[in-house]
Amino acid sequence: MNIAFLGAGLMGRPMAERLKAAGHAIAVFNRTRDKVADLAKAGITVAERPEEAVRAAFCVILMLADAKAIRTVLLSSTVRQELKGRTVIQMGTVGPRESQAIQRDVQAAGGDYLEAPVLGSIAEVQAGKLLVMVGGTPEQFTNWADLFRCFGPEPRLIGQVGQAAALKLALNQLIAAEIAAFSLSLGLVQREGIPVDTFMAILKQSALFAPAFEKKLPRLLTRDYANPNFSTKHLLKDVELFLKEAGALGLCTSSLEGAHTLLTKTIERGLADIDYSALYEAVNPGP
């Protein structure tokens, strides 16, 4: 089918490429056009304006940075008038209330809307192993299941719009919590002169181990945070969304507020656009 793909950043770009490889006709719009100009060589149309991509599409996939970007790109007066009769699938990370508000605006413009945020890295995109969480009706899930299987073998219907968005925030706050906790433990181990291999060997034999620890360890040991799958600034954005939603529900968020402070300090060190594991620099500053 003809698909408009709005937002081709770290995850959006390989997702668009995977849809193209599956035989779909893809028109990409990215706010920084220079970053996607080369996609034309792969047979992907690179649109100058979002309305051009949407006008030729049966459905519109969103992988934009946040709700503000979605409103700027998708819900401008020029694009809004192109949404009638089209389905918008929001696959990035936004708050549940934000997703519901976007749904109302898309429906008011005559379009249909559902959310399908994904969990995984660029490697999982390329392998078709993303975890796809769908917020919408059972009918919408059935209608779009084949499309979702381009990204992951077992898309899952979570519930109505807003619930998949909330689940994605719940998962992403664990990313922040895990890297903050692991960085602190690793820092203590290193400063006490304990071999890191000993620490990891015991950790891996325990119920405390998480695969993310082993995955991020080489970055922390070498302090090399280049070529990110997920940047510090985007993790901070998701943490702030989680804090807002959890606070409104009466949850105590003290544990996550510490990770928020560390992410803020990391960005203040000029490390916004590299891998979020750069949070280690705030926990255990190098020489």
> Of 126, 159, 192, which closes a domain?
159
Claim to verify: residue 176 and residue 120 sit in the same structural domain: no
Enter the tokens of residue 83. 């949404």
What are φ and ψ of residue 166, in 5° steps?
A: -65, -40
Claim to verify: residue 193 and residue 62 sit in the same structural domain: no
- Looking at residue 230, its pLDDT comes to 94
Claim to verify: residue 142 and residue 7 sit in the same structural domain: yes
Claim to verify: residue 107 and residue 19 sit in the same structural domain: yes
Each residue's pLDDT, cut to its tens digit, for the chain (287 residues) gives: 999 999 998 999 999 999 999 999 999 999 888 888 899 888 999 999 999 999 989 999 999 999 999 999 999 999 999 999 999 999 999 999 999 999 999 999 999 999 999 999 999 999 999 999 999 999 999 999 999 999 999 999 999 999 999 999 999 999 999 999 999 999 999 999 999 999 999 999 999 999 999 999 999 999 999 999 899 999 999 999 999 999 999 999 999 999 999 999 999 999 999 999 999 999 999 87
- The domain that contains 211 carries what CATH number? 1.10.1040.10
Claim to verify: residue 206 and residue 269 sit in the same structural domain: yes
Claim to verify: residue 137 and residue 267 sit in the same structural domain: no
Q: Which domain holds residue 212?
A: 165-283
- The domain that contains 153 carries what CATH number? 3.40.50.720
Claim to verify: residue 78 and residue 140 sit in the same structural domain: yes
Buried b (16+ CB within 10 A) or exposed e, 2-33: ebbbbbbbbbbbbbbbbbbeeebbbbbbbbee
Claim to verify: residue 140 and residue 169 sit in the same structural domain: no
Claim to verify: residue 172 and residue 151 sit in the same structural domain: no
Claim to verify: residue 101 and residue 82 sit in the same structural domain: yes
Claim to verify: residue 42 and residue 171 sit in the same structural domain: no
Distance from the Cα of residue 23 to its chain's centroid: 24
> Of 159, 176, 206, which closes a domain?
159
Which amino acid, one-letter code, is at 218? P
> Of 123, 142, 159, which closes a domain?
159
Domains held by the chain: number: 2
Claim to verify: residue 188 and residue 62 sit in the same structural domain: no
- Looking at residue 51, its pLDDT comes to 96
What are φ and ψ of residue 225, in 5° steps?
A: -115, 20
What are φ and ψ of residue 88, in 5° steps?
A: -105, 125
